[in-house]
Amino acid sequence: MTEQEIQSIKNRFGIIGNSPLLVHAIKVAAQVAATDMTVLITGESGSGKESFSKIIHQLSARKHGQFIAINCGAIPEGTIDSELFGHEKGSFTGAHEARKGYFEVTDGGTIFLDEIGEMPLGTQARLLRVLENGEFIRVGSSKVQKTDVRVVAATNVKLIEAVEKGKFREDLYYRLNTVPIYVPPLRERGTDIDLLFRKFAGDFSEKYRTKPIRLSEEAKTLLLSFRFPGNIRQLKNLVDQISVLETDREISVTTLAQYLPQDQGSKFPTLLKTFGGADSGLSERDLLYKVLFDMRKDMTELKKLVFELITNGQVDASVLHTNQELFEDFHGETLRNVPTSAQTPSSIVIAQPNEPHTIHIDGIQDITHEEESLSLNDKEKEMILRALKKNKNKRRHAARDLGISERTLYRKLKEYDLENLE
């Protein structure tokens, strides 16, 4: 397919995005549409699977027939057979008259069975018969009826695992999975997230008759890093909420962070909270501090080893001259006085383990760490104080330097009894 044809399909069905996985899914849907093959669409909830079922129907020869979308998980087990295949009068309590099912009504059209993994095993057997022979029987009847219906199914669970657990028929799985289409979750679509954000912002701007909200560059970076477990549905609700509640149409990273659930995090790896031993019970931020301190200790030991090798004549002393910036916080004398020969004078002072060193974290460049003081709470408190001092007690700016949300900073100030700082 050409790029023009793909863009035409996007425009027609309201699909936003250019990620390779999304484009591939569109191509497969368009190619299979001209056939009568059964299609299984997989993807997380809220990723837009129903849009692909509509592409398949509208680009097929059945486009003039009916299209019905059914959520198998939303129909009670006791009535799903009647809904799909119909029933005869008096076949069960409440069946006051005969009723046609969806497979009878949509003869010549397409049925989209969403959440097919929730379908009861008995109904699965009936569906398999429709797929194999185009035949079905109404509930309470013995008469076999014919239907010409194309089935497009979708699921947000791994059906093969359901087959292994005996919750889904293996023969039905392979019959449905003739042509698989994978719809990627939002977190796998890269900058499509920003495109969708702007699209929704424009839509809600028209709806509420206000200026559309816009993201700062820092806020955009945060948005792209968020995992969005609820996918497009969650992103749309987020934009709707911000559009209504925020008076400032320029959305900063701090403002955006307040609307993102704290427990869902970003797509970047996170530290586990339970390691056992001495680290048990530490928060992720505490563990991060500890890792940084351990890295500094390792670097100190590495520099010490290099100095010893130079002093013993095993490494040319010119290493010090070519890497001055690396060693200038480690020794006591200026490197300009160090000869380039292999023999290094003993006047070079090797830093002792308890000498202070500067750690640069989140833009705060004057945090001094001493080996004998490893209290993580003290260090966190000290960082907060320095950030507030640097930003003249402007908490929003301090939170930004610390790499935390303003809400988290307020909680830390309360925890360390720093709320009344002037």
- 231-268 pLDDT, tens digit each: 999 999 999 999 999 999 999 999 999 999 875 554 44
Q: Which of 184, 208, 224 is the last residue of a domain?
A: 184
> Same domain, yes or no, for 25 and 172?
yes
Whether 270 is covered by a domain: the verdict is no
Higher pLDDT: 303 or 346? It is: 303
Confidence (pLDDT) at 390: 86
Residue 358 region, left (φ>0) first, then alpha (ψ -120 to 50), else beta? Answer: beta
Spatial CA neighbour of 101 closest among 66, 133, 132, 73: 66
> Same domain, yes or no, for 173 and 61?
yes
> Same domain, yes or no, for 110 and 194?
no
Q: Which of the four pLDDT bands, split at 50, 70 and 90, describes residue 399? A: confident
> Same domain, yes or no, for 329 and 369?
yes
Question: 373 is in which domain, residue-wise?
Answer: 277-415
> Same domain, yes or no, for 74 and 171?
yes
> Same domain, yes or no, for 143 and 16?
yes
**Residue 159 to residue 169: CA distance in whole angstroms:** 9
Q: Which residues contact 59 (CB under 8 A, 6 or more apart)?
A: 9, 29, 30, 33, 34
pTM of the model: 0.61
Per DSSP, the chain holds a count of helices (H) and strands (E) of: 18, 11
H/E element, 41: strand 39-42
**Residue 25 to residue 10: CA distance in whole angstroms:** 12
pLDDT at 171 over 70: yes
CATH of the domain at 176: 3.40.50.300
How many domains does the chain fold into?
3
Q: Which of the four pLDDT bands, split at 50, 70 and 90, describes residue 372? A: very low
H/E element, 135: strand 135-137
- State how far the alpha carbon of 196 is from the alpha carbons of 191, 212, 257, in Å: 9, 13, 18
pLDDT at 294 over 90: no
H/E element, 112: strand 110-114
- 116-140 pLDDT, tens digit each: 999 999 999 999 999 999 999 999 9
CA atoms within 13 A on the CB side of 308: 6
pLDDT at 359 over 50: no
Report the mean per-residue pLDDT for the chain: 81
